[in-house]
Amino acid sequence: MNQPLRDTLKVEAKRAVLVGMLTPGQKLSKEHALDELAGLAETAGCEVVGHLTQTRDHPEPATYLGKGKIEELNQLMQATDAELAIFDNNLSPSQGKNIETTIKSIVIDRSEVILDIFATHARTYEAKLQVELAQLLYMRPRLKRMWTHLERIEGGIGSGRGPGEKQLELDRRMLDKRVSELRRKLESVEKRRERLVASRNEYFTVSLVGYTNAGKSTLMHALTGEDVYIADQLFATLDTKTRKWDIPNWGSILLSDTVGFVRDLPHHLVASFKSTLEEALQADLLLHVVDASNPEAMQHIETVESVLEEIGAGEKQTLLVLNKVDRLPGHQTPGTEINGDDLNSIEENSWYHILRNKHRDAMSVSAVTREGVEQLREKVVSILSKNFHAIEITADIGDGKLTSVLTQLTEVEQTTYTNTNAIYRCRLPQGVIERLQREHEIQVEFLEEFTPSSTDAT
Ligand SMILES: Nc1nc2c(ncn2[C@@H]2O[C@H](COP(=O)(O)OP(=O)(O)OP(=O)(O)O)[C@@H](O)[C@H]2O)c(=O)[nH]1
Ligand SMILES: [Mg+2]
């Protein structure tokens, strides 16, 4: 129905010039400022044929870059035979339009590239709905410009004057209709997922979160041995995947892999993916995976923390995992134990040392060589175990399901029966206790030894 419109968001193999602005607060050097955008553009299928940066205090309101720089961009586009200019920041609809008018080529911004990658990588029904919704919401204020793209592609329908207002109005209405349809469909998928999540409540849950390409899926594979999709590309994983992680003599954890984050994630995308992420964020613990071999690691951590904040998971218990230590300059001891302070071989003053000093509780691992993976496993177990409370559960004797859930979750230390009730003594984390209370008719009493001493003397 709105096929032609969606097509204009497709980046496809195109020769592209990357454009960025260096503002005073920016920590990146001029040479590396556009590295990430290049990665995004290539993942989207573009061929990068040129770079252009401008150092300025503030963007120009109408055209983002200064007038002279736009002219320079124009010349560079011609010299490199580029069809597309990709801006590293997000452009307002009118900035995009103004620049396009001047350079007479398609202009896209960071959001558009990310949306395009998401659209290509979406596999599940839900992810596809989420991406389409985000794309339509992004397009809505830019419809007029999308039409000009289309005209150019199809050789100028409407003799360059753009579509009539009537056509635009029709498109807008069509788009709004599709948006509400998508929202409705997503709602019903979400309800179905909520039921699924509820049925998993017997297990402890841990979620892997982090910047795109940090190695979340690789770590998931290293921990669970299950096959997952791993690729050296941005946003390889879009759908939350959950695998069982068995820990011998302890129990099982459900480990979820999630979509990666990136700086300036399009707002609509965060909103669309919020429900998928929320599911993962119900977890008892988050493992925040960082590519410690990337000089940008510190900024990546900040980005991830602010997205977590935005989706209401800022306060969640989180363990930082510094991954890819095998790639650190000076690293040379595969197979040996590493736990932070032993990494003397790694250059002093490197960003890795700064990272370690700032995050002393972080675990260092390599998901590829598996160094530190065993220690990570122990740490996760010890964190989860620390949350345990000693409790006494009184339940109806007829609740057989509760007995089987409890024996899966924990070792029941003592079971006694009265005529009507079964009383279990065991240890469980707070989150699990709350879930059991929601799902079963039970009374829970916290036993002295593990709860902080009560002021209420009985
Ligand atoms: N050298 C090295 N490479 C790693 C390590 N962990 C992951 N990689 C590589 O990093 C790339 C990205 O890994 P993924 O596991 O797909 O990363 P991800 O965080 O799941 O990425 P997205 O799904 O795109 O968000 C792949 O090429 C991996 O092989 C590691 O510990 N050491
Ligand atoms: Mg992944």
Tell me the pLDDT tens digit for each residue of 135-165.
Answer: 888 888 888 766 555 554 444 333 444 456 6
Residue whose CA is at the smallest distance from ligand 1 atom 27: 232
What is the CATH classification number for the domain harbouring 30? 3.40.50.11060
Instruction: Find the ligand nearest to 218 CA.
Output: 1
Q: Percentage of the chain with pLDDT > 90?
A: 34
End of a domain among 120, 153, 179? 120
Q: Write down the pTM of the prediction.
A: 0.77
Span from the CA of 52 to the centroid of ligand 1 (angstroms): 29
According to DSSP, the β-strands at 15-22 and 421-429 are unpaired
What is the CATH classification number for the domain harbouring 393? 3.30.70.240
Query: Which residue did the predictor score with more confidence, 456 or 201?
Result: 201
Residue 173 lies inside a defined structural domain of this protein: no
**Domain shared by 363 and 391, yes or no:** no
Q: Return the pLDDT at 403.
A: 86
Span from the CA of 365 to the centroid of ligand 1 (angstroms): 12
Cβ count within 10 A of residue 48: 19
**Domain shared by 393 and 343, yes or no:** no
Query: Does the C-beta of 265 come closer than 6 Å to ligand 1?
Result: no
**Domain shared by 308 and 433, yes or no:** no
Span from the CA of 27 to the centroid of ligand 1 (angstroms): 24
Check whether 128 is labelled as a binding-site residue: no
Q: Which two tokens stand for residue 377?
A: 């496993």
Count structural domains, the chain: 3
CA distance 269 to 36: 19
Q: What is the largest CA-CA distance in the chain?
A: 89
Residue 129 lies inside a defined structural domain of this protein: no
**Domain shared by 373 and 425, yes or no:** no
End of a domain among 329, 364, 384? 384
Q: Return the pLDDT at 363.
A: 94
**Domain shared by 369 and 429, yes or no:** no
**Domain shared by 358 and 222, yes or no:** yes
Q: Which two tokens stand for residue 285?
A: 């613990």
Residue range(s) defining the domain that contains residue 392? 387-450
Q: How many residues are listed for the chain in this entry?
A: 458
Check whether 216 is labelled as a binding-site residue: yes
**Domain shared by 378 and 396, yes or no:** no
Residue 128 lies inside a defined structural domain of this protein: no
Residues 101-127: what's their mean pLDDT?
88
The listed range with the strongest mean pLDDT (26-35, 85-94, 248-257) is 85-94
Write the ipTM: 0.99
Q: Return the pLDDT at 72.
A: 96
**Domain shared by 8 and 61, yes or no:** yes
Query: Does the C-beta of 238 come closer than 6 Å to ligand 1?
Result: no
The mean-pLDDT minimum among 18-32, 272-286, 339-353 falls in 339-353
Residue 197 lies inside a defined structural domain of this protein: no
End of a domain among 120, 145, 164? 120
Tell which residue, 276, 131, 273, has the closest CA to residue 193: 276
Span from the CA of 216 to the centroid of ligand 2 (angstroms): 5
Residues 75-96: what's their mean pLDDT?
93
Residue 126 lies inside a defined structural domain of this protein: no
Residue 171 lies inside a defined structural domain of this protein: no
Q: Return the pLDDT at 263.
A: 81
**Domain shared by 112 and 43, yes or no:** yes
Residue 154 lies inside a defined structural domain of this protein: no
Task: pLDDT band for 357, please (50, 70, 90 cuts).
Answer: confident
Span from the CA of 218 to the centroid of ligand 2 (angstroms): 7
What is the CATH classification number for the domain harbouring 281? 3.40.50.300
Q: At how many degrees (to 10) do helices 67-80 and 93-103 cross?
A: 60
**Domain shared by 277 and 415, yes or no:** no
**Domain shared by 413 and 358, yes or no:** no
Tell which residue, 132, 66, 134, 56, has the closest CA to residue 95: 66
Query: Does the C-beta of 291 come closer than 6 Å to ligand 1?
Result: no
Residue 356 lies inside a defined structural domain of this protein: yes
Best of 118, 121, 211, 213 for a ligand 1 pocket test (most atoms within 8 Å of beta carbon): 213
Instruction: Find the ligand nearest to 334 CA.
Output: 1
312 with 213: CB under 8 angstroms?
no
Query: Does the C-beta of 326 come closer than 6 Å to ligand 1?
Result: yes
Sheet containing strand 318-323, edge to edge, reads 241-247, 251-257, 204-210, 285-291, 318-323, 363-364
Tell me the pLDDT tens digit for each residue of 39-85.
Answer: 999 988 899 999 999 998 889 999 999 999 999 999 999 999 999 99
Best of 218, 221, 259, 323 for a ligand 1 pocket test (most atoms within 8 Å of beta carbon): 218
**Domain shared by 330 and 438, yes or no:** no
Residue whose CA is at the smallest distance from ligand 1 atom 2: 324
